[in-house]
Amino acid sequence: MTNKDVVKFIKNAKNIALFAHKNPDPDAYGSMFAMREICRNLGVNADVFALRNSESNLDYLFPLNEVKTDFKAKDYDLVVIMDAHCVKRLAPIFFDEVEKSKNIIVIDHHEITEEESKCLASKNMLNIPHLSSICEILTILMRDHQLEITPVIATYLYIGLMGDTNRFLNSNLTPQVFDVAKILYEKQANIEFIYDVMYRSLSRKHLKAYQYFVKNLKLVENGQVVYTVFDLNTFKKLNLEHEDVKFSVDEMKNMKDVKVSFLFMEFEKNNYRVSMRSVNGFNTMICSGANGGGGHKLASAFDKKIKKSEIDRFVKLWGKKVVDGK
């Protein structure tokens, strides 16, 4: 599928339901809300479906009170899934109804693992893994098809661009990323507002998380691999949500000589959401893919049933595989 096909699908629809992966991040929400505006400007109704995250700065960036959860396949003639390519990547409450939908298109930029290739949500897929973000894809699509980029749309898209490039720090940069930034800047993305919310909002709560993380991070493999664990007890004691501690996986990756970082967030007893980051092309998917997760070479995630006492051994094993590239 090409950009042109995406535009055709949208224009031919009357009612569009928009989805992205569970626990939506700035790129997921940015692309859903930008797409909602694109559709509405074309005279097509569109609704954003997501399970709201716990409270976070995303509440200030997007009108999350307008997000819907009660999706019924019969009410929509087109489903657009973005920032994911497999129905299993969506929040579980949507699985059944999305599976019933007859008309689904996918816009993604994730690597397709072997496991996921068995559960592609649609044959109509625009997947460009080397692009930084869905928001980059949508900006180019709008430019090439002369769709009006309003300041509101530009702001949504810039949020996603900042999220997935970690404000131009990640290794997923190409000349086109800067073209997109220029376009969105010229279309009056509210960059001051975005930076205030995303990067100048360190609260006391965040500092507590920071303090804990610095004190408890562990280096293995001669300092090439680093990890930190937030267990249920810590979340409760410090009154933190997952959103409050996610920064730590990037912070660890930015340490000198570190090649791979792991962040373990316990969400049920002995059940962890694990986020990984790497630098210089070390491939985190070696670990995330093998453990049933997904993402990109340099940033990926998976869920893991494990006891806290076994995490050190797990990280040594998989950290070494990633560093060795096998």
Regarding 164 and contact with Mn ion (CB under 5 A), the answer is yes
Please say which residue, 84 or 217, places its beta carbon nearer to Mn ion: 84
Regarding 251 and contact with Mn ion (CB under 5 A), the answer is no
Alpha helices in 101-224 (DSSP H): 114-117, 134-144, 151-165, 175-186, 191-199, 204-216
Give the count of residues interacting with Mn ion (CB under 5 A).
Answer: 4
Question: Chain centroid to CA 117: how far?
Answer: 19
Please say which residue, 113 or 228, places its beta carbon nearer to Mn ion: 113
Please check whether residue 46 is in contact with residue 105, taking contact to mean a CB–CB distance below 8 angstroms: no
Regarding 108 and contact with Mn ion (CB under 5 A), the answer is no
State the DSSP H helix or E strand holding residue 112, giving kind and residue range, or none if neither. Answer: none
Regarding 243 and contact with Mn ion (CB under 5 A), the answer is no
Long-range contacts of 71-76 (CB under 8 A, 24+ apart): 71/17, 71/97, 71/98, 72/97, 73/97, 73/98, 73/100, 73/101, 73/102, 75/15, 75/17, 76/15, 76/16, 76/17, 76/47, 76/101
What minimum distance in Å lies between the beta carbon of 159 and Mn ion? 12
Using CB under 5 A as the criterion, what x/- string covers residues 209-228 for binding Mn ion?
--------------------
Using CB under 5 A as the criterion, what x/- string covers residues 110-139 for binding Mn ion?
-----------------------x------
Q: What strands, in cross-sheet order, belong to the sheet with 15-20?
A: 45-48, 15-20, 78-82, 104-108, 125-127
Regarding 266 and contact with Mn ion (CB under 5 A), the answer is no
Using the rule CB under 5 A, give the single segment among 27-35, 137-145, 214-222, 296-304 that binds Mn ion.
27-35
Please say which residue, 83 or 266, places its beta carbon nearer to Mn ion: 83
Regarding 27 and contact with Mn ion (CB under 5 A), the answer is yes
Please say which residue, 83 or 97, places its beta carbon nearer to Mn ion: 83
Query: Of 18, 29, 64, 83, which lies in the binding site for Mn ion, with binding defined by CB under 5 A?
Result: 83
- Mapped onto helix, strand or coil, the DSSP state of residue 299 is strand
Q: Which chain residues interact with Mn ion by CB under 5 A?
A: 27, 83, 133, 164
